[in-house]
Amino acid sequence: MYISMNWIRDYVDLSGLDLNKLIHQFSLSTAEVENEIFYKGSDLSGIVVARIVSVENHPESQKLHLLKVDIGEEELVDVVCGAPNVRVGMKTAFAKVGAQIGEITIAPRKLAGYTSCGMCCSEKELGISEDNSGIMDLDESLPLGKDLKEIFAIDDIIFEVDNKSLTNRPDLWGHYGIAREFAALAGRELKPLDTADLTCYKDLPALDIKIEDNDCLRYSGVQFDNVSVSVSPVNMRIRLYYCGMRAINFLADMTNYLMLEMGQPMHAFDSRRVEKIRIKKFQKPFTFATLDKVERNIDENTLMICNGDEPVAIAGIMGGLASEIVADTTAMTLESACFDPVSVRKSSARLAHRTDASQRYEKTLDPEMTVTAIARFVKLLTDIDSGAKVVSCLTDVYNRGYECKTLTIDKAYVDRYTGIGDAITNTHIENTLKALGFTVKADNGVFEVTVPSWRATKDVTLKADLIEEITRIYGYDNFLPQTAVSPLYPVRMSLEKSVEEQLKDILVKRFSLHEVHSYVWAYYDEYRKLGMEVEDNVKLLDATNPNLETLRRSIVPTQLCQLKGNTGYAPQFGMFEIGRVVDGLKPDGMCKEEKKLAITLFSKTETLEQLYFRLRDMLAVTVNEIKHQPLSFQKLEASHSYQHPKNLNGVYCDGIYLGEMGVVHPTVSKKLDKKAAIVYAELDVLALSQIENAGIHYQEASRYPGMEVDLTFLSDTFAPIRDAISSDLITNVKVADIYRGEEGKAITVRLTFSSMDRTLTREEVQAVTDDIIAKLAQQNIRLK
């Protein structure tokens, strides 16, 4: 919203103050001001009132005229002018030689063979309106040679307030409310609005107004006749233009002017179209043509203004085309109403049509304002158009309003919030609240505060709301920062959190993996391209993008999709993510959200088996590092499209299932890369964090020499060998070699024997190895 400082100064005397500083203060105390401030008229000088003395047609041009212009100096000035509306005797705005218009300095120059010593100007050329239909047609009474800036309010400072910072301040949607803030900030008086006394019309006939729906809080109206002015005064048009509004015609400009001044949207109807004003909703949907000539679909929730049963306007949003003020309109009915903010917001969203009016109603406008706005309108109208007549009494139907709130705070309450004690005095509290329109009864540090109606619609309801008023006007920059004092106590990191951080460090630092982030939903298209199913799960409601609708049950498919774009990154790499998945619903209907660690390894340089064991060892090292416990693995049945039917294992620690690791199914794998080996793992972070940390158990090294024995068995798997090895004397078991020969797979185990209290004899060791060999022989596993 654009704010004119001239307009503000109508209501607060800011003389002697630095306006730029005040605007900055406003930004820090009230609402955000955009950085760029416009100094209107600052690039305009030397524009004077001139009279056109003679007009001759240019001999060779249809458009151009050769004028002699009187600017109140000794000699007439020759001007070449292309405006269509030139006429002898007309007074207009004239840029003298040496005048400044924006970046242009006016100098004598040849135009189509004739010298032009200056320029007659349109309002658009002067930057004071959009009107470029012709040069300005000024009032006959204006003295020749008078500087235009002394006649019209061309010089102004305009700044823009970020609308988003006004959402909670319905009172700031007009200049008068902003002026109140400036008055409070500057410590100056806010002048009252100049309004007409409406009681003198009380004997005139009333309008027929009935509110038939509770979404209308108040509907006030008055009827006028004999309005003869059709073009708004220049100063009014300049203000509208500077504030970003187009001048339309006098009445439309008046309603806009009032809205910009007071924040009260208004609407003028042709009185013939609104004889019986009814505010209501319709059971059945229909279409309705609005002023902007658009047919709109109206449903049963949209509040309408009607003439009897015939809709004439969408309440709080826009008037109808059929009830518009037209050329032969003589009487017009002015609406000044208040509607329910939620109703207007929803209708406006439904119609996808947000207007200056609906934008204001959404903020919960003050219903007390409707009548004042009419009084202000009548005053302005009759000032400008002395022939205009009020032909009805003020008709006001007040359906419902907001509670008048009184809050009591004391100095101690303020001090507790501010923390700066007597830097904010009782006087400051009282004066600030009064300046902002609150009624204050102060009694020795206790303040009984009545909230003004324009702040009471939703903004100020609690004592804490008053703190904001007091502190923002005091200025947050004036606060002395102070540390809070608190007792000492240890800050512990949650187990899950520290496990998460450990996981990241180990995977990045030790295994050179890359951490990535992804999205929590399944991407249908990308899954399909890789031959993976989107598994049924909790869904987004009203998903706008059908490609992302279902939440993921596992990070693995997500990561495989991400892998797709990375297959050229390096011949071998790994990536991981710690993220959330949803495993359906819990019995109470809530999502079963789980935090998972997913790892994918990709390699073009290793065999699938090598890569799988690298992943296996990576998991074993990682878990061992964090929990000092070994992992175990069990074969799993494949149940997802990306899982390999053979090489899929459950990962266990301390008997607890942590998750799975597997080879990616070849159909998926080949779509990612025809030659590469791809494996994955997914572990539950919470389950891992809850495993007991086995700790470090120090054992002294034996003082007696140990002994190593290699045994080679013909066996397809290591498991039976592992299970057969059990002796206190064996301190380490390693697979020294695997050999696939004619006799089948041969596994060489290297056993380390050692004892804390003696040097072992060959016989002792032999007894143990014999026992192992015998046990395995029973399972038909023989020594090679």
Partner 1 sequence: MNSGVLELRNKLDSALQQAASVAELENLKVEYLGKKGSVTALLKEMGKLSPEEKKSFGSEVNALKDYAAQAIADKAELLQKLELQKELDAVEEFDISMPPVLDRGSYHPVTLVQRKCEEVFRTMGFTVEDYSEIVTDYECFESLNIPKFHPARDMQDTYYLDNGQLLKTQTSAAQNAIYKKYKDALINEGKPIKAVFPGRCFRNEATDACHENTFFQMEGVMVGKDISIANLIYSMKTMLSEVFENYGLKVRLRPGFFPFVEPGFELDISCQICGGEGCPSCKHSGWLELCPCGMIHPNVLREGGIDPDVYTGFAFGLGLTRLAMMKYGVKDIRDLNSGSLTAMSQFFDDK
Query: Interaction with partner 1 in 328-387: which residues (CB under 8 A)?
Result: 342, 345, 349, 362
What angle, rounded to 10 degrees, do the helices at 426-435 and 411-418 form?
Answer: 90
Q: How far apart are CA 664 and CA 647, in angstroms?
A: 9
Instruction: Provide, rounded to whole angstroms, the least separation between the CB of residue 346 and partner 1.
Output: 8
The secondary structure of residue 580, as a DSSP letter, is E
Instruction: Provide, rounded to whole angstroms, the least separation between the CB of residue 321 and partner 1.
Output: 29
Nearer to partner 1, 569 or 704 (CB): 569
Burial code (b: 16+ CB inside 10 Å, e: under 16) for 524-559 equals bebbeebebebbebbeeeeeeeeebbbbbbbbbbbb
738 touching partner 1, by CB under 8 A: no
Cβ atoms of 306 and 209 closer than 8 Å = no
Instruction: Provide, rounded to whole angstroms, the least separation between the CB of residue 538 and partner 1.
Output: 5
Q: How far apart are CA 560 and CA 574, in angstroms?
A: 11
Instruction: Provide, rounded to whole angstroms, the least separation between the CB of residue 522 and partner 1.
Output: 14
Site for partner 1 in 2-31 (CB under 8 A): 27-31
With CB under 8 A as the contact rule, the residue among 268, 532, 538, 653 that binds partner 1 is 538
Residue whose entry in the numeric block shows the structure tokens 């002294």? 700
**Segment interacting with partner 1, rule: CB under 8 A, options 107-115, 399-407, 561-569, 728-736:** 561-569
Nearer to partner 1, 518 or 769 (CB): 518
69 touching partner 1, by CB under 8 A: no
301 touching partner 1, by CB under 8 A: no
**CB contact set of 117 (below 8 Å; sequence gap of 6+):** 77, 78, 79, 97, 108
Nearer to partner 1, 623 or 685 (CB): 685
308 touching partner 1, by CB under 8 A: no
Instruction: Provide, rounded to whole angstroms, the least separation between the CB of residue 327 and partner 1.
Output: 41
Could you tell me the two tokens for 742?
A: 């004619």
The burial class, CB within 10 Å (0-12 / 13-18 / 19+), for 175 is buried
> Total residues contacting partner 1 (rule CB under 8 A)?
86
Instruction: Provide, rounded to whole angstroms, the least separation between the CB of residue 615 and partner 1.
Output: 15
Could you tell me the two tokens for 709?
A: 């024995």
Calculate ∠ Cα 724-725-726, nearest 5°.
Answer: 110
Label each residue of 588-642 as H, E or C.
CCCEEEEEEEEEEEEECCCCHHHHHHHHHHHHHHHHHHHHCCCEEEEECCCCCCC
719 touching partner 1, by CB under 8 A: no
Instruction: Provide, rounded to whole angstroms, the least separation between the CB of residue 13 and partner 1.
Output: 25
Nearer to partner 1, 153 or 677 (CB): 677
Site for partner 1 in 228-267 (CB under 8 A): none
Q: How far apart are CA 13 and CA 9, in angstroms?
A: 6
Instruction: Provide, rounded to whole angstroms, the least separation between the CB of residue 563 and partner 1.
Output: 8
Amino acid occupying residue 754: S
Nearer to partner 1, 149 or 472 (CB): 472
736 touching partner 1, by CB under 8 A: no
Site for partner 1 in 391-430 (CB under 8 A): 416-420
Site for partner 1 in 438-457 (CB under 8 A): none
Nearer to partner 1, 206 or 591 (CB): 591
Nearer to partner 1, 182 or 377 (CB): 182
With CB under 8 A as the contact rule, the residue among 551, 599, 681, 765 that binds partner 1 is 551
Could you tell me the two tokens for 115?
A: 């010298």
32 touching partner 1, by CB under 8 A: yes
Nearer to partner 1, 9 or 345 (CB): 345
Could you tell me the two tokens for 69?
A: 């212009």
Does residue 61 sit in helix, strand or coil?
coil
Instruction: Provide, rounded to whole angstroms, the least separation between the CB of residue 20 and partner 1.
Output: 13
Q: What is the DSSP string of 473-527?
A: HH-GGG-------------PPPHHHHHHHHHHHIIIIIT--EE----SEEEHHHH
Residue whose entry in the numeric block shows the structure tokens 């056993």? 751
529 touching partner 1, by CB under 8 A: no
Site string for partner 1, 484-523 (x = CB under 8 A): x-xxxx-xxxx-xx---x--x--xxx-xxxxxxxxxx---
Q: How far apart are CA 603 and CA 479, in angstroms?
A: 60
Instruction: Provide, rounded to whole angstroms, the least separation between the CB of residue 457 and partner 1.
Output: 13
Calculate ∠ Cα 364-367-373, nearest 5°.
Answer: 115
Cβ atoms of 238 and 153 closer than 8 Å = yes
Nearer to partner 1, 518 or 755 (CB): 518
Nearer to partner 1, 511 or 657 (CB): 511
590 touching partner 1, by CB under 8 A: yes
Site for partner 1 in 129-188 (CB under 8 A): 165, 167-169
With CB under 8 A as the contact rule, the residue among 326, 404, 462, 756 that binds partner 1 is 462
With CB under 8 A as the contact rule, the residue among 573, 633, 652, 718 that binds partner 1 is 573
Instruction: Provide, rounded to whole angstroms, the least separation between the CB of residue 694 and partner 1.
Output: 25
Q: What is the largest CA-CA distance in the chain?
A: 137
Nearer to partner 1, 576 or 753 (CB): 576
Q: Which of 254, 266, 194, 204 is nearest to 229 (CA)?
A: 254
Q: Going along 41-155, which residue ranges are E strands? A: 44-57, 65-70, 77-81, 91-101, 104-105, 109-111, 114-116, 119-121
Nearer to partner 1, 164 or 646 (CB): 164
